[in-house]
A and B are shown apart, each in its own frame.
Chain A
Amino acid sequence: MYYIDPHIHMVSRTTDDYETLTKMGCVALSEPAFWAGYDRGSIDGFRDYFRQLTDFESRRAANYGIQHFTWLCINAKEAENVELSREVIAMIPEFLEAPGVLGIGEIGLNKNTRNEAIVFLEHLDLAMKTGEQILIHTPHLEDKYQGTRMILDMLRGDSRIDRQRVLVDHVEEHTIRPVLEAGFWAGMTLYPVSKCTPARAADMVEIYGPERLLVNSAGDWGPSKPTAVPDFILEMRRRGHGEDLIRRMVYDNPLAFFGQSRNFKFEAPC
């Protein structure tokens, strides 16, 4: 089955991973900007990163027949430096018309601090001024519930936001309902220790249905599995779910969400 991974950090992965992904049926992926494992020291560090995301990485993916899309921002972990964050936010429009840029992301919260919330709101302002879609990271572990509720408060407090164009990612059992009920898209991240397993993601599909629901690997430089979406496909099949439902989750839904972005020029596989 062809599938799309809506959230994976390929700059942290090897070219061998691209080869594996294409063998597993991956035809497209989207890569949100995120934390490098250390705080970048200057605006030029981000400019180089955005060049990598919008230029080199898409060519590396294309060598394996995978279409690469991306999202730009300064990650919540670096948002404590508000001055640098504002420089990055001011620089992002240089890249918004580059091929494959789908919007602003993954913005969000990490430790739910004041500075993180301020930088999140300023990213929202940029997205509203430039008409971008938004991809949102929610915190992990004990901070997820508070952070997700804060994010929903901030989104609901901005009447300019079209909720159908916002994806709130890394939902789990205690956060999926408020995200979907508020009208946003929700993403389930399959991650070995934190976040969600393929079985729990399948449970949530059975409970909430496939409407506005995505599943991703969020593969990055930490312990993660870039082929987690095929694991989900296998789990759904083993439970007896039909191919139409599975395809909707891993192919049709990403197309529906990404298709709202003016830079989403997708070529369906033959």
Chain B
Amino acid sequence: MSAKLTAQATLEREFLPTRAKILEIAATLDRIARCDGSEPVDPRVKQLQSALEIVLDDNSDRAARIQLLFSRPFDENWPTNLQMPKR
């Protein structure tokens, strides 16, 4: 299944909402910088920066990759590590 709209039509439709969302992000980062106190020493700051780098790259699946960036990594050995009872 594919999108019905052309890329140009999608851009026409999404340009203003996307512009607004980018401005919201920029203003939020400005707000953090403007507040009293030094920049937070918080790993989430780096997460936000990394997410923005994904937004800017040319590869596909940006949304899925950003979701994974904000996710805890999967522990394949979770049954052992949680000491799950044998079934």
- A residues near B (Cβ < 8 Å) are 112-114, 117-118, 121, 141-146, 149-150, 153, 157, 172-175, 200, 203, 205-210, 238-241, 245
Contacts and interface: CB of A to CB of B under 8 A. Distances in A.
B79 interface: yes
A43 B84 CA distance: 26
Summarize A's interface: helix, strand, loop or mixed. Answer: helix
B4 A200 contact: no
B67 A173 contact: yes
Nearest to B14: A199
Given A117-B84, A145-B68, A173-B67, A209 B5 contact: no
Contacts of A113: 82
A142 B72 contact: yes
Interface of B: 1-5, 13, 61, 63-64, 67-68, 70-75, 78-79, 82-85, 87
Given A205-B1, A206-B1, A239-B4, 7 more contacts: A114-B83, A118-B85, A153-B78, A172-B67, A173-B64, A200-B63, A239-B5
Given A240-B4, A240-B5, A114 B72 contact: no
A245 B79 CA distance: 40
A174 B82 contact: no
A200 B62 CA distance: 12
Nearest to B9: A240
A240 B9 CA distance: 11
A145 B71 contact: yes
A153 B72 contact: no
B68 A174 contact: yes
A114 B71 contact: no
4 closest Cβ pairs, A-B complex = A240-B4, A174-B67, A145-B71, A173-B64
A145 B76 CA distance: 12
19 contacts: A112-B78, A114-B82, A114-B83, A118-B84, A142-B71, A143-B72, A144-B71, A145-B67, A146-B74, A149-B74, A153-B78, A172-B67, A174-B68, A200-B63, A203-B63, A205-B1, A209-B1, A210-B1, A245-B1
